[in-house]
Amino acid sequence: MKGLTTALGFLTLLPVGRRPVSHEEIAGAVPFFPVVGFLLGLIYALVAYATLKVLPPSLAALLVLCCMMTLTGGFHLDGIADTFDGLALSKSREEILHIMKESTIGTFGVLALVMILLLKWVSVWELLKRGVYYPLLLAPIWGRWALVCLSVTGKPAKEEGLGAWIMQHSQGKGLVMATGWCFVLISLVHVKGLLHILWLYPALMGYRWFWKERVGGMTGDLMGTSCETTEALILVLSLLR
């Protein structure tokens, strides 16, 4: 399946052959992003299950976190840092977009990265202590669905950049396909996980509105931030009884 292979090559460091080189290939692979999340979740869950047999939950959770960062190459973590630097250090649209574009990371970006990673680590730690694995699959599925949702419904804040191009070429049928994949895959994992869409979709629409007011639309960094925060929130909410 070419679309899935392209999505894997774009979102992960898995050895799936040639990585996508054109914007057309990436835009065509957008509907398969949740499937990539499912495959990543399977790996996370297997790593957690295997390491928990020989390591305490704290170290097993740390290895799962390392796996999350390694397999994705920290692709969306960079967006977290850029987003919080831009939000904290600037007020005007131009300043925010300029800071997000810079390759350096400021204090607020570092703090945001530390906090999101700690939140994930502690959440996975507690889940493993309870012997619960399904959130490790739910989180990356919904995280990649968030990317699709914002790609289709969002307006580019600037004309240049990969994120802008994907938004310009993503179509509504891509969101329909991605949502279909989510429903099928999550039904196989944990059917109650489908209820997350009840808060996630409104939250994403609020997030989109906020950044439209601040910078005029979405960027690739902002979409990456949505993926990381969605994953973290799913993990945390899975701890509630």
d(CA 54, CA 132): 17
Number of neighbours of residue 171 by Cβ within 10 angstroms: 14
pLDDT at 18 over 70: no
Orientation angle between helical segments 77-89 and 107-129, nearest 10 degrees: 130
pLDDT at 164 over 90: no
Q: Of the ranges 42-51, 99-108, 166-175, which is most confident?
A: 42-51
Q: Which amino acid is at 78?
A: D
Q: Using the 8-state DSSP alphabet, how is residue 50 labeled? A: H
Q: Using the 8-state DSSP alphabet, how is residue 16 labeled? A: -
Q: How confident is the model at residue 7 (pLDDT cuts 50, 70, 90)?
A: confident
pLDDT at 160: 76
Distances (CA, A) of 27 to 73, 151, 163: 20, 9, 10
- Check if the beta carbon of residue 223 is closer than 8 Å to that of residue 164: no
Number of neighbours of residue 107 by Cβ within 10 angstroms: 11
d(CA 189, CA 195): 13
Residue 196: alpha-carbon gap to chain centroid: 15
In the chain, where the domains are located: 2-233
User: What whole-number percentage of the chain has pLDDT above 70?
Assistant: 96
Of all residues in the chain, what percent are helix, strand and coil, respectively (each to 5)?
Answer: 80, 0, 20
The token pair that represents 115 in the structure block? 């906090």
pLDDT at 117 over 60: yes
| pLDDT (tens digit per residue) in 26-40 | 778 889 999 999 999
